[in-house]
């Protein structure tokens, strides 16, 4: 049991960072903070996308942090992956440098790492 | 009952696949109507490529046998993309009938997901212990 718990430490470190980032980013998007607004305009997206992304990010954090609801967790991870990988592609498609795409890329990697490291009680397992 | 559900699943799934593939193709080809449509919603044109690629991958994942976890990711992608499209139409002040194609694909996504047969569904160990 002790061993099981210590194995979960990397998961919680990665998941903590991911959730903190999504919470901060989602809140800033919902409040339409100036850097977020300017960033969206630069990428060529409409501003109402900030509201859509902000709402989904906050919901994803809630689903990932709470216990149980394993299927909803998969949907949350998938949603974050599509959102953040789309963000990386959007930066490159807008002619941004690697450095500008880096923050989104890091959060995409944290999403994959959190998903990969999720402990057994947060994982769907096939019976057949 | 089981047979009826299977028929519902396959009608919804094939219809969904057809709708996703056909819209993906016109988006990847950047046909004028699609470009005008996405520009009107305020999105950059390169998003047509992102959506088109994911739609094709989603259809392949949903249609092929096995890989139930990947199927959940595909269904979630369809759900987020189509619900996002509906919100975008409404946020852009489009008339309500502009929402119809995305709404149809959203409904087909939900029906296909809900009626997916057991061998295409994830049954968690936790659930099986309870029952």
Instruction: Tell me the angle at which helices A48-65 and A9-30 cross, rounded to the nearest 10 degrees.
Output: 150
Q: How confident is the model at residue A128 (pLDDT cuts 50, 70, 90)?
A: very low
Tens of pLDDT, residues B16-48? 999 999 999 999 999 999 999 999 999 999 999
pTM: 0.92
Interchain pair B88, A48: CB under 8 A: yes
Asked if A69 reaches chain B (Cβ–Cβ under 8 Å), the answer is: no
pLDDT value for A85: 98
CA gap B70, B40 in Å, rounded: 33
> What integer pLDDT is reported at residue B121 of this predicted model?
83
Could you give phi then psi for residue A97, rounded to 5 degrees?
Answer: -80, 165
How far apart are alpha carbons A96 and B54 in whole angstroms?
22
Note whether B123 contacts A74, CB cutoff 8 Å. no
Name every residue whose Cβ is closer than 8 Å to that of residue A55 and which is 6 or more positions away in sequence. Answer: A26, A30
pLDDT band at A127 (very low <50, low <70, confident <90, very high): low
> Which range, of A123-127, B31-35, B48-52, averages the lowest pLDDT?
A123-127
Could A94 and B44 be called an inter-chain contact, meaning their C-beta atoms sit closer than 8 Å?
yes
Please write the tens of the pLDDT for every residue from B78-117: 999 999 999 999 999 999 999 999 999 999 999 999 999 9
pLDDT tens-digit map of A33-92: 999 999 999 999 999 999 999 999 999 999 999 998 999 999 999 999 999 999 999 999
H or E element that contains A105:
helix A98-117
B residues 1-40 closer than 8 Å to A (CB): none
CB contact under 8 A, B77 and A82: yes
A86 touches chain B (CB under 8 A): yes
3-state secondary structure B41-107: CCCCCCHHHHHHHHHHHHHHHHHCCCCHHHHHHHHHHHHHHHHHHHHHHHHCCCCHHHHHHHHHHHH
Distance from CA of B52 to the nearest CA of A (A): 12
């Amino acid at each position: 049991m002790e061993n099981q718990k210590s194995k979960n430490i990397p998961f919680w470190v990665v998941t903590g960072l991911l959730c903190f980032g999504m919470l901060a980013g989602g809140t800033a998007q919902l409040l339409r903070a100036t850097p977020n607004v300017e960033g969206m305009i630069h990428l060529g997206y409409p501003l109402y996308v900030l509201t859509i992304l902000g709402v989904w990010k906050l919901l994803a954090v809630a689903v990932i942090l709470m216990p149980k609801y394993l299927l909803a967790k998969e949907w949350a991870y998938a949603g974050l992956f599509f959102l953040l990988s789309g963000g990386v592609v959007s930066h490159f498609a807008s002619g941004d440098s690697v450095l500008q795409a880096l923050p989104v890329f890091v959060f995409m990697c944290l999403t994959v790492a959190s998903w990969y490291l999720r402990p057994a009680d947060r994982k769907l397992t096939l019976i057949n | 009952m089981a047979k009826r559900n299977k028929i519902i699943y396959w009608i919804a799934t094939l219809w969904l696949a057809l709708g996703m593939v056909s819209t993906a193709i016109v988006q990847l080809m950047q046909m004028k109507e699609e470009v005008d449509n996405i520009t009107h919603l305020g999105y950059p044109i390169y998003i047509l490529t992102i959506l088109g690629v994911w739609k094709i991958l989603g259809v392949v994942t949903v249609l092929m046998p096995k890989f139930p976890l990947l199927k959940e990711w595909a269904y979630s992608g369809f759900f987020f993309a189509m619900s996002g499209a509906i919100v975008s139409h409404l946020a852009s002040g489009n008339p309500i009938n502009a929402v119809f194609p995305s709404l149809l694909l959203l409904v087909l996504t939900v029906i296909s997901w809900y009626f997916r047969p057991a061998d295409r569904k994830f049954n968690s160990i936790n659930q099986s212990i309870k029952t």
